């Protein structure tokens, strides 16, 4: 018989206990209160209720995190698309966001496409509504996605596990199993862990929400993030070549005619203003006059098949005269952009040009079409945030800021829609700023009199005196002064050309020609030198550096022409100036002009008999020409 329970004092009740008398499978036993608490929390109704509370708290924390992110970024946040659709943006371009928990779809109120409910949206004023612009990722989703050249659109973001002090002791990457943190220093350290205790830390630059966007490691300089997937992507991006292909409407088409670049085309000026960072050929220009974005998109195949790494595109102005909506234009251009990026190319958009001016007002836009034109321009500007895409914006320098119909400034258009030489210069200047970031500079001009063609130097210059040495040249008709050896300078009737040799502060020798008068034809002056005969089938190109002093007037072009004659004649010109006709504003920009010019490559014909290189000085056969022109560092080379 068990002994009775004995105590010195029994209370009516107690708020705490050490043990309880419980029943377990028909037997009476003692159970510690702490064990009972764990049992209740682990299973049963109380445990289920606690799990619900945990889920609610986690959801609340995630919701608060999203709201903090949105507030920090100035984003309109909504739990669902249906809720976002009822909210108006604060202004054009305002960002809205719907989390990935909304898995439905809807018709985009701006462009009419069927899109996912989740993602980032941009507010459009006209037509009013939220336009879906990209996917979004929930923090702290572990991602590492890169989009330098394709083959698909990916958002770039590398997230780290960080402490509240911003230190990142561990980096996690994706999306591939081989995408992991590797560095020689860490490998060496880990190999010693079996023998020594070593503390290893990776530090990250983080924002105030604790997100690590870029990591720096230490303590050794070789302590860096390495992974095969990222190395592969970066090596592909580094393989960008200098070749460009240009595409669009007539504003692109007028850049080239065969192997000739035109002074009214921005490709000619782009060579000069980018310091010859690009390569092009007679097949570079895919522009077609009169085409809409629908037609340009349908003809994209040659652009995608091109070996060029860079596509430069200007389109959509003809959409306005064909009554297309902004949404239709944007849809076509978005598809065009996606295909270019998927082909592994980079894309430079030109963010449109104004239409009409006070001299030629027939093509000015009004009403809805003006609004569409401006809406398309805003979409283009927004593409600068897309990896692999850049946007050149000459608009601000071409539009009259006080004009209610966004007419062009005087002098930048030649006929109310197409760029004049000045307008082409402004477009090229905007593009050149991007190319300076993408492409390293190079020296294609000759730098020494020793740089001549020979069996040992097959890419040397075929021009015997491209460095303008000596004064043994010929001053021809209407020309006086000193001419560099081997060269001939002659001027047409009505023009006076005064030649001299000048040396700049760096010791470079220039041939200077001061031109004045009024000619009865467009070509005022020609400066010519024979070129060493190439072999049939050789591919050739010519380069030179030109300079025009500020204060010039009546100057329409400085075409550099490489000519090879055999059974046929092959010719390439850089900076041709065609007949003016009824066009206006055809003079070169009224500012100092300096830089390299280059011809497109040509193939020497069969049985070459003669070859020459000529710099022309052109006017318009109506107005007087007054200009001081200089030339140096001229070469014609075989491309090998």
- Per-domain residue ranges of the chain: 69-134, 144-190+197-238, 244-438, 472-638
CA contacts within 13 A on the Cβ side of 225: 20
C-alpha distances (whole Å) from 447 to each of 271, 444, 500, 509 are 18, 9, 21, 11
Partner residues linked to 105 by β-bridges: 116
pLDDT at 65: 60
Of 431, 449, 441, 468, nearest to 547 by C-alpha is: 468
Residue 353 near residue 398 (C-beta atoms within 8 A): yes
pLDDT at 39: 75
Its CATH class, for the domain covering 244-438, is alpha beta
For residue 299, the 8-state DSSP code is T
Assigned token pair, 442:
């190079």
* 386 pLDDT higher than 50: yes
pLDDT digits (tens, 9 = 90+) for 100-117: 889 999 999 998 888 999
* 439 pLDDT higher than 80: yes
CA 32 from centre of chain: 70
Mean pLDDT of 363-390: 96
Residue 359 near residue 412 (C-beta atoms within 8 A): no
| Cα–Cα distance for residue pair 377/394, rounded to 1 Å | 11
Question: 3-state SS of the chain: helix, strand, coil percent to 5?
Answer: 25, 30, 45
| Cα–Cα distance for residue pair 45/83, rounded to 1 Å | 35
Kindly state the percentage of the chain with pLDDT values over 90.
64
Mean pLDDT of 405-420: 96
Q: Which residues contact residue 460 at a Cβ distance below 8 angstroms, ignoring those fewer than 6 apart?
A: 451, 452, 453, 454, 637
Highest average pLDDT, of 66-75, 228-237, 319-328, comes from 319-328
Q: Say how many residues make up the chain.
A: 640
* 209 pLDDT higher than 70: no
Residue found under tokens 């989740």? 118
pLDDT at 160: 40
Mean pLDDT of 191-208: 47
Mean pLDDT of 152-157: 33
Mean pLDDT of 293-308: 97
* 547 pLDDT higher than 80: yes
pLDDT at 520: 87
| Cα–Cα distance for residue pair 492/489, rounded to 1 Å | 10
Assigned token pair, 92:
């054009």
pLDDT at 62: 56
pLDDT digits (tens, 9 = 90+) for 9-34: 555 666 667 777 777 777 777 778 77
pLDDT at 29: 76
pLDDT digits (tens, 9 = 90+) for 492-515: 999 999 999 999 999 999 999 999
Lowest mean pLDDT, pick from 52-61, 141-150, 219-228: 141-150
pLDDT at 9: 53
Its CATH class, for the domain covering 472-638, is mainly beta
Cα-based angle 584, 587, 589 (whole degrees, multiple of 5): 120
C-alpha distances (whole Å) from 291 to each of 52, 233, 369, 499 are 61, 36, 17, 46
pLDDT at 13: 64
C-alpha distances (whole Å) from 206 to each of 97, 147, 241, 322, 440 are 22, 22, 34, 50, 31
Of 491, 615, 451, nearest to 546 by C-alpha is: 615
* 120 pLDDT higher than 50: yes
By CB atoms closer than 10 A (0-12, 13-18, 19+), residue 264 is: buried
CA 561 from centre of chain: 31
Which ranges constitute the DSSP H helices of 13-147?
33-42, 45-73, 81-84
| Cα–Cα distance for residue pair 190/199, rounded to 1 Å | 10
Partner residues linked to 480 by β-bridges: 498
Kindly state the percentage of the chain with pLDDT values over 70.
78
State the chain's mean pLDDT as an integer: 84
- The better pLDDT of the pair 574, 30 is held by 574
């Amino acid at each position: 018989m068990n002994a009775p329970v004995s105590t010195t004092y029994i209370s009516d009740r107690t708020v705490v206990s050490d043990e309880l008398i419980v029943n377990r499978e028909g037997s009476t036993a003692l159970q510690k209160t702490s064990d009972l608490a764990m049992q209740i929390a682990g299973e049963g109704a109380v445990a289920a209720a606690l799990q619900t509370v945990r889920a609610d708290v986690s959801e609340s924390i995630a919701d608060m995190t999203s709201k903090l992110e949105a507030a920090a970024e100035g984003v309109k946040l909504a739990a669902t698309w249906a809720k976002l659709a009822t909210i108006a943006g604060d202004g054009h371009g305002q960002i809205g966001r719907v989390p990935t928990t909304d898995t439905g779809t809807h018709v985009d109120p701006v462009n009419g496409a069927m899109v996912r409910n989740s993602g980032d949206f941009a507010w459009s004023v006209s037509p009013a509504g939220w336009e879906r612009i990209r996917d979004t990722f929930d923090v702290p989703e572990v991602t590492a996605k890169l989009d330098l050249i394709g083959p698909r659109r990916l958002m770039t973001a590398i997230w780290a596990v960080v402490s509240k002090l911003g230190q990142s002791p561990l980096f996690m990457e994706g999306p591939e199993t081989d995408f992991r943190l590797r560095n020689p220093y860490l490998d060496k350290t880990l190999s010693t862990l079996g023998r020594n205790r070593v503390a290893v830390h990776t530090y990250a630059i983080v924002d105030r929400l604790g997100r690590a966007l870029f990591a720096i490691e230490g303590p050794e300089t070789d302590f860096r993030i390495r992974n095969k997937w990222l190395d592969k992507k970066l090596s592909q991006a580094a393989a960008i070549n200098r070749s460009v292909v240009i595409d669009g409407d007539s504003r692109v088409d007028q850049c080239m005619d065969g192997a000739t670049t035109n002074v009214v085309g921005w490709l000619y000026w782009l060579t000069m203003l980018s310091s010859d960072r690009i390569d092009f050929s007679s097949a570079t220009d895919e522009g077609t006059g009169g085409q809409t974005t629908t037609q340009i998109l349908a003809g994209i195949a040659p652009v995608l098949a091109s070996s060029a790494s860079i596509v430069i595109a200007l389109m959509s102005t003809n959409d306005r005269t064909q009554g297309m909506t902004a949404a239709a234009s944007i849809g076509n251009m978005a598809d065009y952009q996606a295909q270019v990026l998927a082909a592994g190319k980079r894309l430079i958009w030109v963010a449109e040009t104004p239409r009409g001016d006070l001299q030629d007002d027939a093509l000015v836009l009004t009403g809805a079409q003006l609004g569409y034109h401006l809406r398309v321009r805003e979409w283009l500007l927004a593409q600068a945030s897309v990896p692999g895409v850049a946007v050149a914006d000459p608009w601000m320098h071409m539009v009259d800021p006080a004009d209610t119909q966004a007419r062009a400034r005087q002098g930048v258009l030649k006929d109310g829609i197409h760029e004049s030489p000045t307008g082409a210069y402004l477009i090229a200047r905007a593009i050149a700023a991007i190319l300076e970031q993408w492409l390293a500079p190079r020296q294609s001009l000759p730098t020494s009199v020793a740089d001549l063609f020979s069996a040992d130097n097959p890419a040397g210059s075929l021009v015997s005196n491209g460095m303008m040495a000596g004064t043994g040249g010929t001053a021809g008709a209407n020309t006086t002064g000193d001419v560099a050896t081997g060269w001939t300078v002659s001027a047409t009737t009505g023009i006076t050309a005064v030649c001299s040799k000048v040396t700049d502060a760096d010791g470079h020798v220039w041939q200077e020609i001061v031109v004045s008068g009024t000619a009865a034809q467009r070509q005022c002056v020609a400066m010519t030198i024979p070129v060493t005969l190439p072999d049939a089938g050789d591919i050739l190109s010519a380069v030179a550096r030109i300079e025009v002093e500020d204060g010039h007037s009546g100057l329409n072009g400085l075409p550099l022409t490489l000519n090879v004659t055999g059974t046929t004649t092959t010719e390439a010109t850089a900076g041709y100036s065609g007949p003016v006709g009824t066009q206006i504003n055809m003079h070169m920009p009224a500012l100092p002009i300096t830089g390299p010019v280059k011809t497109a490559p040509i193939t020497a014909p069969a049985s070459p008999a003669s070859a020459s290189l000529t710099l022309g000085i052109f006017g318009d056969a109506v107005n007087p020409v007054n200009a001081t022109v200089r030339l140096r560092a001229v070469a014609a080379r075989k491309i090998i």
